[in-house]
């Protein structure tokens, strides 16, 4: 019997976890790649915060802004969320780079929207286009994403999100109506960051350090439980959607950009198997790329 290919194993893992999955992985230095639905347009959710932070650092490298620039953030009008500035009560004053740190470390949507307001939606989209990522498009900041979702849910509120009929009408799950990209383009953005193509020198190093701050380890990083393997990533979550994109760095110098986007059949908010399969499939893909490099 012919042994299963890496793509066979990835398909089987997604099916066992009860999700539809799209994946793209690339060896940053050699260019070898592996994909499953890599060019499928997806709703990016909070993964799109990578685009905001990358734009911020690129503009800093070009002299268009200072990362130390302070921003006054009043308590009123902050984007809702479960972390960071979204849950804080008092006025704050933070630099742009510290807002970027919160955006990545705990997926702070309020911090992300301060950056989005400072840069402008069109500027973020133009930067992605400059990098050749023409299918990576922001339709709205996080506050508008949440407002649109609340509008579609209606009077039932968050509790209604377990109802498949309610979830089916959420525009934020449809890439035609929300922030969107493809697995290939999000991984390409990360590969460009690690190759100093977004920005170089100390600013490029600072950008990579910021992208390494994420605290969540239950998705992509769960597939690489080694003290000497570094995983930098950004999650994205909406009802039935669980994503993560990141870079996996091995001590032998191997560097791999991986983007995994999933949609679950279940509307349950807690699905550990759906989270874990992101790490499982990323590991299969990276192992395949590493094996190819040594053949």
**How many structural domains does the chain have?**
1
**What's the whole-number mean pLDDT along residues 166-184?**
97
Q: Give the 3-state secondary structure of residue 170.
A: coil
Segments in the chain forming alpha helices (H): 6-17, 49-61, 96-105, 109-119, 121-130, 142-153, 164-168, 183-194, 201-211, 272-294
Measuring CA to CA, how many Å separate 197 from each of 115, 203, 205? 21, 11, 12
pLDDT in tens, 105-158: 999 999 999 999 999 999 999 999 999 999 999 999 999 999 999 999 998 888
Q: How far apart are CA 240 and CA 271, in angstroms?
A: 9
**What's the whole-number mean pLDDT along residues 42-68?**
98
Contact in structure between 102 and 84 (CB atoms under 8 Å): yes
Mean pLDDT of the chain: 96
pLDDT in tens, 211-257: 999 999 999 999 999 999 999 999 999 999 999 999 999 999 999 99
CA distance from start to end of the chain: 22
Radius of gyration, alpha carbons of the chain? 19
The whole-number pLDDT of residue 25 equals 98
Q: How far apart are CA 295 and CA 290, in angstroms?
A: 9
Please report whether residue 48 resides in a domain. yes
Closest by alpha carbon to 103, among 66, 53, 147? Answer: 53
Please report whether residue 132 resides in a domain. yes
**How many Å is the maximal CA-CA distance in the chain?**
65
Beta bridge partners of 112: none
Please report whether residue 287 resides in a domain. yes
Question: Which range marks the domain in which residue 148 is found?
Answer: 6-294
- pLDDT band with cut points at 50, 70 and 90 for residue 294: confident
Q: Give pTM, 2 decimals.
A: 0.97
DSSP string, 33-44: EEEESTT--EE-
The whole-number pLDDT of residue 114 equals 98
The whole-number pLDDT of residue 1 equals 76
Please tell me the total number of residues recorded for the chain in this structure: 295
Please report whether residue 1 resides in a domain. no
Residue 82 scores a pLDDT above 80: yes
Helices (H) and strands (E) in the chain, counts: 10, 9
* CATH number, position 45: 3.40.710.10
Residue 176 scores a pLDDT above 90: yes
Q: How far apart are CA 174 and CA 110, in angstroms?
A: 23
Beta bridge partners of 258: 25, 246
Closest by alpha carbon to 286, among 261, 264, 262, 254? Answer: 254
Please report whether residue 98 resides in a domain. yes
Please report whether residue 106 resides in a domain. yes
Name the token pair of 140. 């709205």
Please report whether residue 109 resides in a domain. yes
- pLDDT band with cut points at 50, 70 and 90 for residue 102: very high
Closest by alpha carbon to 117, among 52, 48, 50, 199? Answer: 52
**What's the whole-number mean pLDDT along residues 61-84?**
96
């Amino acid at each position: 019997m012919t042994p299963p290919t890496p793509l066979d194993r990835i398909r089987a893992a997604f099916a066992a976890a009860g999700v539809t999955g799209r994946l793209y992985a690339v060896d940053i230095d050699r260019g070898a790649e592996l994909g499953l639905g890599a060019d499928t347009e997806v709703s990016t959710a909070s993964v799109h915060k990578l685009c905001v932070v990358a734009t911020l650092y690129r503009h800093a490298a070009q002299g268009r802004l200072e990362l130390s620039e302070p921003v006054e953030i009043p308590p009123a009008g902050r984007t809702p969320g479960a972390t960071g500035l979204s849950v804080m009560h008092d006025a704050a004053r933070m630099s742009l780079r510290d807002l970027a740190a919160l955006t990545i470390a705990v997926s702070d949507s309020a911090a992300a929207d301060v950056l989005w307001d400072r840069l402008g939606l069109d500027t973020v989209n133009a930067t992605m286009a400059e990098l050749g990522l023409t299918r990576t498009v922001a339709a709205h900041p996080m506050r508008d994403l949440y407002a649109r979702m609340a509008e579609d849910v209606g009077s039932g509120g968050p509790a209604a999100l377990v109802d498949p009929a309610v979830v089916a009408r959420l525009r934020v799950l449809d890439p035609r109506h929300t922030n969107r990209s493809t697995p290939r383009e999000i991984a390409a953005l990360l590969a460009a960051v690690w190759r100093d193509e977004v920005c170089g020198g100390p600013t490029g190093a600072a950008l990579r350090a910021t992208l390494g701050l994420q605290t969540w380890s239950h998705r992509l990083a769960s597939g690489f439980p080694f003290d000497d393997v570094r995983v930098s990533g950004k999650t994205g979550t909406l009802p039935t959607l669980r994503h993560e994109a990141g870079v996996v760095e091995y001590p032998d110098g191997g560097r791999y950009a991986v983007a995994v986007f999933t949609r679950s059949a279940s509307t349950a908010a807690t699905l550990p198997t759906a989270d874990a399969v992101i790490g499982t499939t990323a590991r299969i893909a990276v192992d395949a790329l590493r094996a190819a490099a040594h053949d």
